[in-house]
Structure 1
Amino acid sequence: MNATTRERGRAERATRGGGPLALLARIFHRQLDRLDRGIAEGSLELLLPNGRARLLGGRVDGPAAVVDLRSWRALLRLALSGSIGWYEAWAAGEWASPDPVQLFALFSRNRAGLARPARATGPWRLAKRLWHWLRRNHRGGSRRNIQFHYDLGNDFYRPWLDAGMTYSSALFATAGSTLAEAQRAKLQAMLDRTATVPGNAILEIGCGWGSFVELAVKAGRRVHGITLSTEQKAWAEARTAGMDGASFALTDYRDVTGHYDAVVSIEMAEAVGRQYWPAYLAAIARALKPGGRAALQIITFDDALFEDYAGNVDFIQRYIFPGGLLIRESEFRRLAANNGLDWRDQFHFGLDYAETLKRWRENFEAAASAGQLPAQFDARFVALWRYYLMYCEGGFRGGGIDVVQATLVKEG
């Protein structure tokens, strides 16, 4: 008899005999009732700690998730700490699923009805908000937060990204595209949005490992890429060594000088934080020549539920991107207009991001199985990133988050 079976046996006996666990079980069943009422589309099939099964939702077609709830503690963590607690319960073995992506897609699809059960409450919420505030993206904080994620090392990312080392949503413009082809299609779409010609100068804010710079320079543009990641800068400089027109600097976007024909920023805005959105858009406006264009790719959160999301701290912010926040498109557009930037030609392609994440995860799993990830990353860290990739894929498949390309044109 394994530990999980013994725990279930103890829980069932305690529930039959009354006592505190029986009372808690009744409370947890009421929590499940609330979850059931919040599932308008799709279903959640639960195997409970007492060995019984329960179906939540199932009234309208949608994502079909299956969860083995091995301990009631998982629901307690969810109630107190939201998505952070739910991850910690998974890491502790308190729940499992044959396909967690479907569970995250279910929560994303039913975000309006399940928003409150998935957020931290009471003093736990305040504590996490304080932690998040301490990791805000002032100048020193930005460098620390970027290093936390991107300076895990090039040898960590190389085995599971495409050969071009592009760490943002691909654009699967044609059926059957490889990940590398879809990433190149995305980069070309961003270059096309700039409406630049050979000889023009482009600033890239958040240049990653230099894939856009390489493509644009080969097309005759001059590109200056800025980043706060020393690891990314070293890789980008190596890949463009000897190419005329490519340059890189460790520069905060707030310190950008000079004027450019265009600006490109691919999934950089999410790392800025709401407090600094005005400064980010002001920096873009300052860098552009009159009539110049900025091509942005941003990850957005459901506008109607944004305030609740922004007032909490989720799993991504706690464990993956400290200081980060997804974008509220309506607010971002208003701030862009305040800086003389006309928002045009937006294009949503969230399901392409889901497919990108699926392919990254497949590569990640293969690399982990083959021992290709750096030795300093232990099994718990690898599991964290596996969960992160599944969590994000489900979010895009459920529609709660989206990815958008847009062109901002400077007036004048």
Structure 2
Amino acid sequence: MVEHPAPGGRWARRVAPLYHRILDRIDAGLEEGAIEAAVPDGTRRLIGGRRDGPLAIVTIVRWRALRRLITGGSIGWYEAWAAGDWTSPDPVPIFDLFMRNRTMLGSIARAKSGARIAARVLHLLRRNDRSNARRNIAAHYDLGNDFFEAWLDPSMTYSSALFAGNESLERAQRRKIDAILDRVAVPPGGILLEIGCGWGSLAEAAARRGLKVRAITLATEQQRVVAERTRGLPVAVSLTDYRDVTGQYDAVASVEMVESVGEPFWRDYLAAVARALKPGGRAALQFIKIADDVWPAYSTNVDFIQAFVFPGGMLIHEPRFRALAAEAGLTWQDRHAFGQDYAQTLRLWREQFEAAAAAGRLPARFDRGFVELWRYYLMYCEGGFRGGGIDVVQITMKREGL
């Protein structure tokens, strides 16, 4: 709908129809929800609006935002946002819409050949082999404990909570930890291996249940906190690659660590879990999965998170991961998906993050660009869960044998 004539010079008027055709393609692909868009030629458009769904408000400041979207996909869309090429009072519905309508939108918002190949090469150079794994983990988790303390809940739990009603984030995080420990069902005196222990909330809870815990991480900052946090408890924490774990344990817990493994090493990870379990022992995993219909494009491309936030990371393709678990002799039991709980977790994290930024409680060593990158990351993830293209799952795996 045109509200007033297009401003600008001859060139602006000449290119405007090309970009309106891109908007036409997006309009055709939005089956659910709508975008109210203000564009550089002075017009306003309602895109979509055929069926109920999220409503996104977007201002396209410069046409190149759309060019970056169609050539660079999620990486280009972030770069356009960082450059001020588009704005929104709340970008979460945009990410929700793109994910919710992914089938009809097709390849509109996916990187094209040149950008895709360059990003893919960089991603492959960061694959999580032994030489890269610690470097990749440090790039994210060793940003500083003071940074994460500013916006996580007091337990310092950096994974999806499990909500019941309108309870607090801290209580919902404890519910999630209890659910993981209930799955492994280790009696007091048993020994638990935690692969990827974060800042120690699960290890501490397990020890207070009477378990002995071996916790491993590749993040130096995390290891220091866990050692201090569990002082006096039966917890041993070390900087250890999952491939180097020795011995056998009554149970294994691993919460949102496998996303840092990468598809080429899923078989190694599951073999390590199986090898660490005593016969009949149980492993409780929580992992983030990508929708099956998104996997072919996702696995051959590089998204915003892989490029800017989690080097070497990859979400789980559940059918493939489950098949590899079976090859390793691990049964698959009691699956529970709770993606909307992750959306809620991310919303609360973002509120706390923005409050910390406004109050000057984020470390001064991080500039405005870094802070805005993380704000965008939290919104991007929230929208992905709300749109259903990604999900979070808890699963119990049992090692076969007596």
Structure 2 length-normalised TM: 0.97
Q: Which residue of 2 aligns with 1:212?
A: 202
From 375, 393, 402, the counterpart of 1:404 = 393
Q: Which residue of 2 aligns with 1:66?
A: 57
**Which amino acid letter does the alignment assign opposite residue 278 of structure 1?**
R
2:7 match: secondary structure: helix
**Which amino acid letter does the alignment assign opposite residue 48 of structure 2?**
G
2:379 match: secondary structure: helix
Q: CA deviation at 1:391?
A: 0.5
Instruction: Confirm whether residue 116 of structure 1 aligns to residue 111 of structure 2.
Output: no
CA distance in 2, matches of 1:22, 1:316: 35
Question: Contact conserved, 2:5 with 2:43, CA < 8 A, in 1?
Answer: no
Q: Which residue of 2 aligns with 1:264?
A: 253
CA distance in 2, matches of 1:13, 1:159: 45
Question: Which moved further from structure 2: 106-115 or 58-67?
Answer: 106-115
Q: CA deviation at 1:30?
A: 1.5
Distance 1:153 1:256, change over 3 A: same
Q: Which residue of 2 aligns with 1:235?
A: 225
Instruction: Confirm whether residue 222 of structure 1 aligns to residue 212 of structure 2.
Output: yes
**Which amino acid letter does the alignment assign opposite residue 357 of structure 1?**
L
Q: Which residue of 1 aligns with 2:356?
A: 367
Instruction: Confirm whether residue 379 of structure 1 aligns to residue 368 of structure 2.
Output: yes
1:12 match: secondary structure: coil
Question: Which moved further from structure 2: 336-345 or 113-122?
Answer: 113-122
Q: Give ranges in structure 1 of 5+ residues lacking alignment.
A: 1-8
From 41, 54, 60, the counterpart of 2:45 = 54
Deviations along 1:120-160, whole A, 9 cap, x unmatched?
10211100000101111011111110000000000000010
Q: Which residue of 2 aligns with 1:304?
A: 293
Q: CA deviation at 1:12?
A: 3.1
| RMSD after superposition | 1.3
Q: How does 1:346-357 map to 2 (within 5 A)?
A: 346-357=335-346
Question: Contact conserved, 2:161 with 2:341, CA < 8 A, in 1?
Answer: yes
Deviations along 1:247-277, whole A, 9 cap, x unmatched?
1010001111100010000000111111111
Q: How does 1:14-53 map to 2 (within 5 A)?
A: 14=9, 17=10, 19=11, 21-53=12-44
CA distance in 2, matches of 1:113, 1:147: 38
1:367 match: secondary structure: helix
Deviations along 1:274-310, whole A, 9 cap, x unmatched?
1111101110010001111000000010112201111
Q: How does 1:97-136 map to 2 (within 5 A)?
A: 97-136=88-127
Structure 1 length-normalised TM: 0.95
**Which amino acid letter does the alignment assign opposite residue 93 of structure 1?**
G
From 154, 175, 191, the counterpart of 2:165 = 175
Q: CA deviation at 1:115?
A: 4.1
CA distance in 2, matches of 1:10, 1:137: 53
**Which amino acid letter does the alignment assign opposite residue 160 of structure 2?**
S
From 317, 328, 331, the counterpart of 2:317 = 328
CA distance in 2, matches of 1:304, 1:366: 37
Instruction: Confirm whether residue 192 of structure 1 aligns to residue 187 of structure 2.
Output: no
Instruction: Confirm whether residue 96 of structure 1 aligns to residue 87 of structure 2.
Output: yes
CA distance in 1, matches of 2:215, 2:384: 30
2:293 match: secondary structure: helix
Count of residues in correspondence between the two structures? 398
Deviations along 1:320-344, whole A, 9 cap, x unmatched?
0011011011111101001000000
2:294 match: secondary structure: helix
Q: Which residue of 2 aligns with 1:3?
A: none
**Which amino acid letter does the alignment assign opposite residue 51 of structure 1?**
G
**Which amino acid letter does the alignment assign opposite residue 258 of structure 1?**
G
Q: Which residue of 2 aligns with 1:284?
A: 273
Instruction: Confirm whether residue 392 of structure 1 aligns to residue 384 of structure 2.
Output: no
Q: Give ranges in structure 2 of 5+ residues lacking alignment.
A: none
Of all paired residues, the percent bearing the same amino acid is 59
CA distance in 1, matches of 2:194, 2:14: 57
**Which amino acid letter does the alignment assign opposite residue 251 of structure 2?**
A
From 140, 148, 155, the counterpart of 1:157 = 148
Q: How does 1:70-85 map to 2 (within 5 A)?
A: 70-85=61-76
CA distance in 1, matches of 2:5, 2:144: 45
